[in-house]
Amino acid sequence: MTWGAEELDLDAYLRRIGVTEPTLKSVHAGHVATIPFENIEVVLGDIPKLDIPSLQAKIVDRDRGGYCFEHNLLYAAALDRLGIPVQRLLARPRIGGGPPRPRTHMMAVAEVDGRQWLTDVGWGGGGLLEPMPFEEGTMQQGAWTYRLTRVEEQWVLQSLTDGKWVDYYGFTTERQYPVDYEVGNFYTATAPTSHFVGRLVVQRTGPEFRQALVGNELVKARPSGEIEKRTLTTDEVMDVLPGTFGIELTDTERDQLRDRI
């Protein structure tokens, strides 16, 4: 079994996220601040490739983003290269309640100086800005407040939104293998029930608010529950992608995306 970390150009990745003194905290924070969450490849009918050379070519060399598998596999490879022990995990999204969903979110637990940390650069919507201790408790990050708690056999990550704790996802620490992410990636990119099939989803989270583009609706959301929404024209969508989210597309990709918005 190999995760392909040796194939990562670590220096190029660190330049991409603007980190000169890499630690678990600085790499997590730099990644979240720099690389957007986006599913453009899926909207265009493709299945994202998860091998490290493909992830580097897309996210590092082309200044693109991706969704959780892409973000966290690239990020975990960087932690491997930095000598930071990291356990790659899978979680079940819990937002909105309802029956159990498939384990289609990737995150990780890393260890620094004998202490474990939950670390996740790929949640997208209001996700962690930096690692938080892998133990029951709360943590303030910017204007956001997170809580890690136990619900039956699962660890559950929550965010305080409009004064209420909102579940993000639940997970166990069962060992995962590369094929587990390939299966989750295939489902997420192709299943009619996937939230990422058939509509554009682009997100970026900062210390004070989250920016999201869902279809042609631009949304700014704050932890207080305050939400601003604006419906965009197709031309405005194409301008917002590079202007707000830093996503540069080829002319061919732009033309194809126009037909699917």
Provide the annotated active-site residues.
68, 105, 120
252-259: long-range pairs with CB below 8 Å, 24+: 253/40, 253/44, 256/44, 257/40, 257/43, 257/44, 257/200, 258/234
H-helix or E-strand containing 43? helix 40-43
Note the residue count of the chain: 261
Amino acid letter at 172?
A: T
Q: Give the neighbor-by-neighbor strand order of the sheet with 201-205.
A: 37-38, 201-205, 210-214, 217-221, 227-231
Lookup: tokens for 133: 């201790």
DSSP structure class, residue 259: T
**What sign for the dihedral angle of Cα 55, 104, 203, 82?**
negative
| CB-CB contact of 217 with 230 (8 Å) | yes
